[in-house]
Structure 1
Amino acid sequence: MVRRVTLTAISWSAALLLVGALALTLLFRQTILSDLDNRLSDVGEFLVVSAEVETDGSLGLVRPPADTRYGQIFSGRYWQIAPAEAADPERTLRSRSLWDESLAIPDSLRDRALARRGQGITGSAKGPNEEPLRLFLRAIEISGLDQPILVAVGEDRRAADRRVFEFALLSLGLFTAFALALVAGILIQVRVSLAPVFRMGRAVGAVRDGQSERITGAYPAELMPLAGELNALVDHSREVVERARTHVGNLAHALKTPITVLSNEARNADGPLAELVRRQSDAMAAQVEHHLRRARAAANARAIGARTPVTPVVEDLSRTLEKIHRRKGVEIEVELTETLLFRGERQDLEELVGNLLENACKWAERRVRIRAGQGEAGQIEIRIEDDGPGLSEAERQAVLGRGVRLDEQAPGTGLGLAIVTDLAKAYGGTLVLETGTLGGLCARLILPQARQIRETPR
């Protein structure tokens, strides 16, 4: 949003500044050319008034223009009076600055001047040194001559063009400095204007990370309805989670009691039927426990503010399982990042790590290693590996199925890895099985990470 608003404001401002600079440059150029045309027109009018026909029929001039540069050879200022129809050097009057050259008047200008006889026109031409000229041209009729004459006054326009170029550079520098100041002002204005929105965003993040329970603080009147709706959404989410937990608990009590009764009765009896009832009761209890965990995890995953430190959970589980498997001589190596936070409930993290760690200890020869660190953006990665026999690619795919056990002699229901997979998916994570560096199986668990709570500066 900040980027879009800032870029829009900067683009619009830059376009206006560019148009303004171009307009000012064109206006200045027009002013310079107008001054030049007025000066040439004044000299042309003076020549028209001063022109006369001598007694021998040749053209003469009562007095030349006072500007001395018309008397300096190739000075860049020239005038010429000549018959319009035929070029006759002997009947052509020219300034000394032309020496023995003549002004090369383009035919288009000559035709326009003749068509608008008596009116002055301006245009461009080449001087005696091929310099660009601004040319004033006027066709007049004078008594004593049978054809009109052309009065032409030219001036080197490079000085005028240079002034326009210098003004353009100056305008570019000034408008660039103004643009930079305007960009800084836009950035400050956007930041100041959107500061309440950023503050509300941090407040929402604090609620999500468990730092606060509601969005509080003073906001502009335009944002207060949004704050109220977000607080209502937070309250609704907590209500839904609490209702789901209540239903899960009720379901657990409703199912576990009959299953426990059946299991106890089957253990107290003998015979094939009692053994069948006992096995099926245990299977039902395991399935019920599995689905209850999954339902609870789905509710917890949607809870706002749930966060659990990873280090205490992993260390507690490691110490416990190391004691359980002490006779086997299994050693558990723990490598952790202290600041990792799981975005979820502690009991679900214990279920996830506990199942994987228990499985690694069960199959390890001597060593089990658990590492936890930063994964991709917004994730943590927990790697649990052992030095056991490991699994092939096909076995790794099969063992993730619900109720699958590759060793039927080992105790268990075959739901451990399935529970881990379902819990991880409920939180938006994944479980990947691969070959570890210790030679056995490596279980790589990827889970969402909660942001650290930062102390608010006073």
Structure 2
Amino acid sequence: MNRLIGFGRSLAARLVIGAVAWSLLILVIGGVLLSQQYRDSAMRSLDGDLRVVLDGLIASADVGADGALALRQTPNDQRFQTPSSGRYWQIAPLTQGIAPTPVQQSQSLWDEASLPWPTGGAAPLADRKGETRYANVTGPFDQPVRLAVQVVTLPGAETPYAFFAAADRRPALIDARRFTTTLALALAVMAAGLIAMVVLQVRVGLAPLNRLRGDVAEVRRGKRARLDGEYPTEVAPLTDELNALLDHNRAVVDRARTHVGNLAHALKTPISVMLNEARAEKGPLAELVTRQSEAMRRNVDHYLQRAQAAARAETMGARTEVQPVIDDIARTLERLFGRQKDMDIHVAPGPALVFRGERQDLEEMAGNLMENACKYGGGAVHVAVREGQAPHTLEIAIGDDGPGLAPEAREAALTRGVRLDETAPGQGLGLSIVAEFARLYGGALVLGESSLGGLEATLRLPATD
């Protein structure tokens, strides 16, 4: 069902189906009309032949003094001399009998009684003397024949005479069927050609839209900043609007960053003043102000960082190479923690992956996790950058040789404000900030057990080309 709905929403499918349906309808109607026209033409040609035979018989017929009808000349077509040849003629008085009683007939009739009256019998013929009437009847030897009858009153004759000429219709019908078959094959080939042309025309016509889709995808992946290039007149207004939207989006993000930065400075300074004054005083009130001020500062840091990350995550076109960022963080942390312990940060070589996001966010996420590994581990840290299991994703796995976390404590470690180690400085914002940053980018932070025996934090993020 979903495939049918998706197919029905396809512009290319609509154009192809509409054009193909209309073309096939025209071809079918044209084929039927041409076939019927050929059949009618074959019958008219057969009627013309029979009309010539009747004219010859009437012109050659005479009535003698004894009232007997005689022919000065009979049709010279050899088929009239061959029994059951499919060509017949006869002359019979116009009577009201069930069947005509021929006074003259072709040898091709042989011992058959006679050609039959047309549908309706002899009575309608008497009222339309001199006119030729055509009909399809079953003739001699059970052959389907085309019958032509004309009633004429000859000089000296007491009664009118009916002149008959008939021809087997089967050869004409066979020719018509052959023509219909040939026509059907020709129209089928034409239909296949038309369908191919329609599909090609639609593909060529919609190629700019496919190119536009690819260009928009490159903008989203960070390969280009705007939709540059030559587009058809019908598509150019759309690309102009998209470029204006991209520019507006960048301007909004820049303003948001500026406002967040101004807000950070506006809030942090008064909070720092309150903390300094409270720490300089003694007593319960000073301790209360100190605790609440520190809580305010933690919340301000958290939500400012989250707001900044959200603004950057919505920015289209951002891209960052992962490996150089990891290498820079590793060198910085080795110098920082190398004074306290014997540090060994091993960054495993991996593919050249690109993070679809801001470098600052990647530095904060990966730096926070690598700093925790150095802080809580015994000195060995292993970092691996690899492709994610899902398409267009990457993973950064950071493991240490520290005490690790029990499975039930790992979920709590991702909760904002929860500190599992009260002896280490901090406010418990690190892992929660990383997890929220990852979710803002459509990724995730997963905690597990490292091969070194400690904790392994796996950061899953969107990737681009």
- Fold conserved between structures, TM > 0.5: yes
Corresponding residue of 1:28 = 38
Code of the aligned partner of 1:420? V
Q: Distance in 2 between matches of 1:93 and 1:440?
A: 121
- Cα deviation for residue 127 of structure 1 reads 4.7
Q: Scaled by the length of structure 2, what TM-score is found?
A: 0.75
Task: Note the C-alpha offset of 1:250.
Answer: 0.3
After superposition, the CA RMSD in angstroms is: 4.4
2:42 counterpart letter in structure 1: I
Q: Distance in 1 between matches of 2:246 and 2:84?
A: 88
1:86 counterpart residue number: 97
Q: 1:35 to 1:376 in 2, by over 3 A?
A: farther
Structure 2: how far apart are the matches of 1:269 and 1:278?
Answer: 10
Q: How many angstroms does 1:373 deviate by?
A: 1.6
Change (3 A) 1:115 1:420: farther
CA 1:443–1:93 in 2, change beyond 3 Å: closer, same or farther?
farther
Q: Which residue of 1 aligns with 2:265?
A: 253
- Distance in structure 1 (CA, Å) of the matches to 2:233 and 2:351: 43
Cα offset for 1:125? 3.2
Counterpart-to-counterpart distance in 2, 1:59 and 1:397: 121
Question: What pairs with 1:174-323 in structure 2 (closer than 5 Å)?
Answer: 174-183=186-195, 185-187=197-199, 189-190=201-202, 193-194=205-206, 197=209, 200-201=212-213, 203-266=215-278, 274-317=286-329
Distance of 1:103 and 1:398 partners within structure 2: 110
2:417 to 375, 383, 403: 403
Q: Distance in 1 between matches of 2:345 and 2:64?
A: 128
Mapped pair 1:424 → 2:435: no
User: What do the CA deviations read for 1:382-434 (whole angstroms, capped 9, x no partner)?
Assistant: 26476955525xx666555433456666654343343234323433x142648
Alpha-carbon spacing, 1:140–1:345, altered in 2? closer, same or farther (3 Å): same
* Cα 1:139/1:167, change in 2 over 3 Å: closer
CA separation of 1:321/1:188 partners in 2, compared to 1, >3 Å: closer, same or farther?
same
Change (3 A) 1:73 1:213: same
In structure 2, relative to structure 1, the CA distance for the partners of 1:235 and 1:306 (3 Å cut) is same
Equivalent residue for 1:337? 351
Give the conservation status (yes or no) of the 8 Å contact 1:81–1:94.
yes
In 2: Cα distance, 1:315 partner to 1:91 partner = 116
1:95 aligns with 2:106: yes
8 A Cα contact 1:113 1:139, kept in partner: no
- Whether the aligned pair in 2 keeps the contact of 1:385 and 1:436 (CA below 8 Å) is no
Residue from 58, 67, 73 that aligns with 2:77 = 67
Q: Relative to 1, partners in 2 of residues 1:150 and 1:414: Cα closer, same or farther, differing over 3 Å?
A: farther
Determine if the alignment matches structure 1 residue 43 to structure 2 residue 53.
yes
1:33 CA drift (Å) = 2.2
C-alpha change, 1:43 and 1:341, in structure 2 (3 Å) is farther
- Deviation, 1:293, is 1.8
Q: Structure 1 62/346 Cα, relative in aligned 2: closer, same or farther at 3 Å?
A: same
Find the residue that maps to 1:125 and give its secondary structure.
strand
* Cα distance in structure 2, aligned partners of 1:440 and 1:127: 105
The percent identity for this pair of structures is 42
1:153 to 150, 165, 174: 165
How many Å separate the matches in 1 of 2:459 and 2:62? Answer: 108
Normalised TM-score (structure 1): 0.76
Rounded Cα–Cα distance in structure 2 between residues aligned with 1:434 and 1:85: 110
| AA partner of residue 418 (structure 1) | S
| Structure 1 CA distance for aligned equivalents of residues 177 and 209 of structure 2 | 47
Consecutive unaligned residues of structure 1, counting only runs of 5 or more, are 453-458
User: Would the alpha carbon gap of residues 52 and 283 (structure 1) be closer, same or farther in structure 2, given more than 3 Å must change?
Assistant: farther
Give the conservation status (yes or no) of the 8 Å contact 2:96–2:123: no
Q: Deviation at 1:299?
A: 1.6
Residues 216 and 14 of structure 1: is their aligned pair in 2 closer, same or farther, counting only changes over 3 Å? same
Aligned length: 445
Structure 1 residue 358: Cα displacement: 5.6
Once the 2 structures are TM-superposed, how far is the Cα of residue 71 of structure 1 from its aligned partner?
A: 1.8
Give the partner amino acid of 1:373: E
Between the aligned partners of 2:103 and 2:420, the Cα distance in structure 1 is: 118
